[in-house]
Structure 1
Amino acid sequence: MELVRAAQLALSCLDLTNLDDACKPEDIDTLCARARSPHGPVAAVCIWPRFVARARELLAGGPVRIATVVNFPTGEEPAGAVMEMTRKAVGDGADEIDLVIPYRELMEGASEPVLTRLRRVKESADGRTVKAILETGVLEDEALIREACRLAIEGGADFLKTSTGKVRVNATLRAGRIMLEEIAASGAEVGFKPAGGIRTTEDAAAYIALAEEVMGQGWVSPKTFRIGASSVYDALIATIEGTGPAPGTDGY
């Protein structure tokens, strides 16, 4: 795919993210303004739960969706707290819930907590999109990644997401291929979201190419494919505008 076209598609599929620990309300104002780019809106903003109501006010009536995170980033929050946070986020206006699965329990051989947590969050999300964050860079082992994918799909996840962006190894093409293969094998209508470490237009284009290789030409759209990133935005805009390379920052 030609690079400008890839940049345009990636921008439309972008979950523009600010999950910095020091994020402030004015940072959300900036994020929401950037989400409505001169070249079209991004798919969503992805933010901490405490900022959902603010983003809803800023983005009201527009096409940009609001995603937030729960059980994040460790995957180890108490179940009751996760459900309460999910319900509050929905009440505040969240369209999408990005849930970190209890991946460390899976690594210890316990699969049931993954299913239980997903099913309960799906119920609490009341019809909103739920993305299961697998933390593939920690799982690492191919068999474990495949098991996590299958459990997440069985539990009702609408998307499989690689990573929190908070660990040493985040999105990789290797993990992405495994996840896409499992989505294809399941026959389910499940999307794919690489996240963390995607900083250049070439990075984004590589994931688009991978998704279309595994899932077929034309599969990539905001309904089935997202890119979770903060630092790739400027690079995509620079590619679209033909202003030369604009490498991403060291952010998410």
Structure 2
Amino acid sequence: MTDPRKTPAGRVLALLDLTSLNAGDDLQSTVDLCRRALTPYGDVAAVCVSPKLVHVARRTLNTLGGRSVKVASVCNFPAGNAPLADVVEEVRKTLAEGADEIDLVYPWRKLKAGEPTGAVELIRTCKTLCGPYHRLKVILETGELDDPELIRTACREAIAGGADFLKTSTGKTAVNATPDAVRVMLETIEEEGGKVGLKVSGGLRTLADAQGYRALVEERFGAGWITPEHLRFGASSLLDDLLRELGAEAKPISTRSY
């Protein structure tokens, strides 16, 4: 049997932000999510939960021996149109609850309407709160922007504001990640120095889905760029497909028992 870290499914697993952002999420569902995050084939990169459940996720992961798994949460979510002061307070509270990473929705509605977005100020303010030890991922909602130039503008504003990652989607709209949008994002990341990461989210259900996007990243930046510091996949059901693949071809590397 193969070391899972050397298989396609194992490599994607290590880049996964295992996500649950449902209205009915509660303490038990979050505990269950954290248990799923710590697989026999290695741990995911992060769990992503609602702000109200960040403390539950952090405590659970620590208790289960998953301290290296990051806790991400969403702010200005999902509409992206909250007042600056409200977003700042939300980010502050979410970090205080124990979040390692903030996924912040960009004010895409204003961009689409041709209005000044205020995005650079918003993102810069939130990144100041995050500091150097907490990642800020900016959700562009590319499926709603649906125009390469608008997507490019959003990318540039997010990078100018200090984003650590550009993220495709909230997963709450009709159109989520697409290869065309990701190509534009990768082009812009490269134009701006290649230091900002990419998170693909929304509609990822199979290893094949993730592999398609991974190939786009590798084509642009090379295999060495592909680490959890540069690439993430945000999904929930994707984990099930990865575990099926790993169960067929890899040996477990973890002996955790709960």
TM-score by length of 1: 0.92
Tell me the number of residue pairs that the alignment of Structure 1 and Structure 2 aligns. Answer: 240
Secondary structure at the residue paired with 1:194? strand
Q: Which amino acid aligns with 1:38?
A: P
Aligned to 1:105: 110
Contact 1:122–1:156 (8 Å) recurs in 2? yes
Contact 2:166–2:199 (8 Å) recurs in 1? yes
* 1:36 positional shift: 0.6
Would you say 1:237 and 2:243 are equivalent positions? yes
Find 2:165's aligned residue among 155, 159, 162.
Answer: 159
Percent identical residues: 47
* 1:125 positional shift: 2.0
* 1:13 positional shift: 0.3
Deviations along 1:131-150, one digit per CA (max 9) or x if unpaired, are 00000000000100011111
Would you say 1:80 and 2:82 are equivalent positions? no
For residues 166-245 of structure 1, the aligned pairs below 5 Å read: 166-242=172-248
With CA pairs under 8 Å and 6+ residues apart, which has the higher RCO, 1 or 2?
Answer: 2
Cα distance in 2 for partners of 1:230, 1:183 equals 26
* 1:214 positional shift: 1.1
Aligned to 2:254: none
For residues 5-84 of structure 1, the aligned pairs below 5 Å read: 5-60=7-62, 62-84=67-89
Cα distance in 2 for partners of 1:112, 1:71 equals 14
Deviations along 1:130-174, one digit per CA (max 9) or x if unpaired, are 000000000000100011111111110000000000000001111
Task: Return 5+ residue gaps in structure 1 as ranges.
Answer: 244-252
Deviations along 1:191-242, one digit per CA (max 9) or x if unpaired, are 0001000001100111111110111122111110000000100101111121
TM-score by length of 2: 0.90
Q: Are residues 221 and 111 of structure 1, via their aligned partners in 2, closer, same or farther at CA, if it must alter by over 3 Å?
A: farther
Secondary structure at the residue paired with 2:224? coil
Secondary structure at the residue paired with 1:166? coil
Contact 2:110–2:117 (8 Å) recurs in 1? no
Moved over 4 A (4+): none
Cα distance in 2 for partners of 1:194, 1:214 equals 15
* 1:80 positional shift: 1.2
